[in-house]
Amino acid sequence: MERQIRNKKVLVTGGAGFIGSNLCQALVNQENEVVCLDNFLTGKKDNIISLTAYENFKLIEGDIRNIKACEEAVKGVDIILHQAALGSIPRSIKDPATTNAINVDGFINVLIAAKNAGVKRIVYASSSSVYGSSKKLPKIEEDIGEPLSPYAITKRVNELYAKVFADIYGMTLIGLRYFNVYGIKQDSYSTYAAVIPKFVSTLIKYESPVINGDGSFSRDFTYIDDVIQINQLAALTNNEEAYNQVFNVAVNDRNTINTLFDIIKENLASLDSEVSTIRPVYGPGRPGDIPHSLASIEKAQKLLAYKPENKLKDGIKKTIKWYFDNLK
């Protein structure tokens, strides 16, 4: 089975974001014609500035809430990797309307534009947040709970729309439930920055990161290279059992936030010894947070031949040097 997309025209929505820009870089390197659609609401031009010099990379500055932008972006495309979304559970609680407009209305626009243009294969980003109130571990794709945030609702709605479009219009849509993805180019300065870049950016300034709650919550942290791997596997698979399915994207290994902090601090301290004395500050928990997250990846292993290669210590070691060089 092919494991890398080559010589295709690929649309990456949200291509200037953290995951999207890493996908764009990999696809350009693999001699694909890559179209990046992004409105730069959360994506960063710096993430793709080096790609603009490539002849096989095209940037369309547009919004998935605009059907015309979607129609322009899908022209002649073989595969769509849909990453565009307004992330963050806290942001969705603060502003559910905008989260819904981008994550649901925008998603429908992408599907409609793809359908009308005859694009058959769409791989789209879902989220582990759809497991919501379910306390069962590990998380299995067919057993979800009630959503705990507007963001989680939008991602579940994406999955439902994908199933309907597949059934009615004969399209192939594969959903990927991301579990706490981290790696290079992840935003450190946003109010809603993910925990790893937030910890790193704070420690580099010799300040104490805030841990929400007592640090005992656990996550299945997933390195960006493994996310790139499964996007390509899902885009290329000829296994009909995998069509119109949803897959966990994780490592099947969980670590507490306290353990995460210790690993980050240890790696940064090897570059800057002053970091070694910093301790975290503990604050209140966040509404809508899932206490524990651990994914079963058996379905992805069986149907997509997914093989994650990075445990947390490995991924953090690869990531820290980039943060240190870019944030210092």
Mean pLDDT (whole number) for 155-181: 97
In the predicted model, is pLDDT for residue 118 greater than 70? yes
Counting the structural domains of the chain, the total is: 1
Asked if residue 196 belongs to a domain, the reply is no
Let me know if residue 36 belongs to a domain. yes
Q: What are phi and psi of 153, to 5 degrees?
A: -60, -45
Q: Cβ of 20: how many Cβ atoms within 10 Å?
A: 26
**Residue 248 Rama label (left phi>0; alpha psi -120 to 50; beta):** beta
pLDDT mean over 190-199: 78
Residues 6+ positions from 216 with CB-CB distance below 8 Å: 256, 257, 258
Q: For the residues 148-173, what does the mean pLDDT come to?
A: 97
**Mean predicted lDDT score pLDDT of the chain:** 94
Alpha-carbon gap, residue 85 to 88, rounded angstroms: 10
The pLDDT value recorded for residue 290 is 74
Q: Mean pLDDT across the stretch 243-258? A: 96
Q: Using alpha carbons only, what angle is made at residue 158 by residues 153 and 164, rounded to the nearest 5 degrees?
A: 125
260: amino acid identity, one letter: L
Share of residues in the chain with pLDDT > 70 (%): 97
Q: Is the pLDDT of residue 260 over 90?
A: yes
Looking at residue 284, its pLDDT comes to: 86
Any domain includes 60: yes
Please report, for the domain that includes residue 167, its CATH number: 3.40.50.720
Q: Which residues are catalytic?
A: 151
Residue spans of alpha helices (H) in the chain: 18-29, 45-48, 67-73, 89-94, 96-100, 106-117, 150-169, 195-204, 224-236, 257-269, 298-304, 312-327
Beta strands 210-212 and 181-182: pairing type?
Answer: unpaired
Residue 293 lies in a domain: no
pLDDT band, very low/low/confident/very high, at 191 (cuts 50, 70, 90): low
Residue 16, domain member (yes or no): yes
Which H or E run contains 59? strand 57-61
192 has a pLDDT exceeding 60: no
Q: Which two tokens stand for residue 54?
A: 């490539």
How many whole angstroms separate alpha carbon 86 and alpha carbon 99? Answer: 6
Residue 76 banded pLDDT, cuts 50, 70, 90:
very high
Q: Regarding beta strands 121-127 and 57-61, do their DSSP bridges make them parallel or antiparallel, or are they unpaired?
A: unpaired
Using DSSP bridges, classify how beta strands 255-256 and 218-219 pair: parallel, antiparallel or unpaired: antiparallel
Q: Judge whether residue 243 has pLDDT over 60.
A: yes
pLDDT of residue 234: 98
Q: What is the mean pLDDT of residues 2-22?
A: 96
Q: What is the pLDDT of residues 28-42, one digit of tens each?
A: 999 999 999 999 999
**327 — pLDDT class (breaks 50, 70, 90):** low
Query: Which residues, including other chains, have CB under 8 Å from residue 84's CB and lie 6 or more apart?
Result: 13, 14, 17, 20, 37, 38, 64, 102, 106, 110
Residue 266 has pLDDT above 70, yes or no: yes
Residue 289: pLDDT over 80: no
- The domain of 114 spans 9-184+221-251
In a domain, 294, yes or no: no
Q: pTM of this prediction?
A: 0.94
Q: What is the pLDDT of residue 47?
A: 95
Quick check: is 257 in a domain? no
Share of the chain above pLDDT 90, in %: 84
321 confidence band (pLDDT: 50, 70, 90): confident
Whether 289 is covered by a domain: the verdict is no
Give the per-residue pLDDT at 328: 60
Label residue 1 by pLDDT band (50, 70, 90).
Answer: low
Residue type at 180? Answer: N
> In this model, does residue 179 exceed pLDDT 70?
yes
- pLDDT-based confidence at 7, cuts 50/70/90? very high
Q: State residue 187's pLDDT score.
A: 83
